[in-house]
Every structure is written in C-alpha cells, then in structure tokens.
Amino acid sequence: MTKRGGGGRGRGGRGGRGRGAHAGPREPPAPPVVRSILAQRAAAPPDSKPTAAPAPVPEPAEDAPLPDSLVLLDHSGAWCGDTPVARRMLSAERSEGAVLGVLGRRGVGKSHVLNTLAGRRVFPEQSSEAFASASAQTTAVAVHAASRGALLLDTPPLLEVSQAQSKVACLDVSAQVRSVRVAAFTLTVCDTVLVTSDWLADTAVWHTLLLAEQVVTTLPLARDDAGTPVCARMLLVGSRVPKQDRTPRLLQRAQACANAFFARSGLLSDAAPQLDGTVAEKRAVAAVASVKAPALHHAVDAPRRRASARGSSQQEWLRFAERVWSAVEASPAMHEYARTLEHVARQTA
C-alpha cells in the first residue's frame, strides 16, 4: 500500500508538472532570418560604433593638374584656402600683380566679367536654367591666378532673397549680414572691385558697399603704415547695356550719380579715366558699359592699393585674406549691425 501510494504521488506529481509545463498554446518558432538578426544584435555590445578609422584623403600628386579656381570660402562661410592645392596654385615669390574682385547681384554677369579678363572660362557662369529657377551659380568665394601675377576673386551674389521670402520680395537678416561681410572682405583684400550690374546704377548694392566700408574702417588689418583705412577702388561695370545705349551721355549720367552717392566715401578712384582719355584731377567714379572696354582690362595693371600690397607674394596674400575674414566675422560693427537688423525685423513683424 505504501509503495502504491508513493507511486501514485509520483505519477500524480509528474503528471501535474507535465500539465503545468505544457499549459497554454505553444509559440511557433521564429523564421531563420529573424533568428539571425536577433543573434547579431545580442552579440553586439549596446551602442556600439565602428572603431575603424576613416581612410585618409590622399593628397594630390605633385604633377596633378591644378583646378581653374580655388575655393576660399564655402557657402557656409568656412575658410577652405589652407590646402596643398592652394600652395601649389599661388606663387611664393614676390608679385606685383593686382587683385581684382567682383561684387553684384545674382545673374548680372560677375563670373562672365572675370572670365573675360582671364581670357578663358575659369569660373562657372550661370545657365539659363539656373537663372529661371532663381538659383545662383556662384555660392562660394573663389580665386584664380591669372597672367602677370594678377588674382581674380569671384564672390556669391549680394542681397540674395531667400526662397522662403521670395514671394514677398524682402530680405532676411542673414542674407543682409552675409552680403555686408562678403563686401567688407572683398573691399579689404582687393585692389580694385568691379561693381557689376545690368545698367551701371544699383543703389541697393551701393548702400551695401557703404555699410561694408564702415566695417572696413574698424579693421586694424585694413590700414596702411600711417594708420589710415585703405579700401579697394571701385569701377562700375554695366554688363548688359545694349550697344545702341552705350553713349557718352549714359556714362556721364552714371558717373555723376555715383559721384554724388559716394561723395564722402573712400571707394572712389584717385585717377578715374574720363571719356576723352584724360584723367580727372579729383577722385571720381570710373564706369564702363561693356565687358570689352579697355578701361576694364587696364584695371588688371592698375597700381596696387590694399594694405598688404607692398612686397607681398600670392601666398602671403592668401594668409592675409584668411586673417581678414576672421576679423570681419569678429568685428563689433558687424555684430551691432546684425542686432540692429534683428530689432527692426521684430518691430516690423
């Protein structure tokens, strides 16, 4: 009796454990693909990241062909000029060549003017598709080493309307600040600035130049040995004036308007060529109504005017330009201008 009772308890215990173990429906096994993924996740530590170092970017070979132009500032304003390509492209020997920059709105032919001076296409020009889509072809500041030691500086468009505000035809604060920064940088590192527009006169761009000149006067790097602020001279270029309208009367009116606008500015030429070939006795504005005008090509051989001109090489100019851009970004005048625009934007919102 005792054994049967014990056997009954054993069977009952085993039966109870068996019924408890198999209670409820059995979960079907996962597919092989899912099991493989789960096994890989379980084997990897949490938040694991690849430890392999990225492959280094190989430097260009010494005999590799150089690009036509060198990007100094990208679209975000970061300096890109400290590269092996820049040291190969720009000469380390003393150079007497001038530095020519260009400023203007989108689609006025800034890059085309510089390509004309270079004698070939070294900067990308805006296509008809890009113009129709209201997008700029030039989004960075780039430089080209031309003949006779001259440097050509291409810049992004001034007063560019943002896509979000293009319907109301107003500028955002960042676009205005960026325009003044680029203009101040160009006026400091160049000897001559070609202010390009369709019809010679663009008072909105001229106003941006006056604001940029005020920033330049606060930069210690933009002063000569006597401590006087030095800005680039200005040359007005009408890139799309029809041939039948390129008359002496048009140039006289454009020069008179610019002379009155920049009467107290240092952007005027010390010796502006007149229509008859003579030289003005006082500072005045030089204007040309064609990209093939001789005065435009003579600007390449104009006397050097910038503060770093004396006894400098192209590579020294590059280092000088990097310091100038850092000074422009840190300028108290630029920060005050940005705060003023933000205040005005809040008041008018």
pLDDT for the residue 164: 44
Exposure string over 327-338, b if 16+ CB within 10 A, otherwise e: bbeebebbeebb
Q: What pLDDT sits at residue 279? A: 43
Q: Sort residue 45 into left (φ over 0), alpha (ψ -120 to 50) or beta.
A: beta
90, two tokens: 């720009």
Q: What is the dihedral of CA 88, 89, 90, 95, to 10 degrees?
A: 110
Domains of the chain, earliest start first: 76-348 (3.40.50)
The predicted pLDDT at position 157 comes to 92
Q: What's the confidence (pLDDT) of residue 278?
A: 43
* C-alpha–C-alpha distance, residues 85 and 95, integer Å: 19
Q: How far apart are CA 274 and CA 276, in angstroms?
A: 5
Terminal C-alpha separation, the chain:
99
Q: What burial class does residue 214 get, using C-beta atoms within 10 Å of its C-beta: 0-12 exposed, 13-18 middle, 19+ buried? A: middle
Block mean pLDDT (10 aa), the chain, length 349: 49 48 56 61 55 51 70 91 88 86 92 91 77 64 90 91 46 84 95 90 93 93 85 88 85 86 81 44 71 78 72 88 95 92 83
Q: How far from the centroid of its chain's Cα atoms is residue 255's Cα?
A: 30
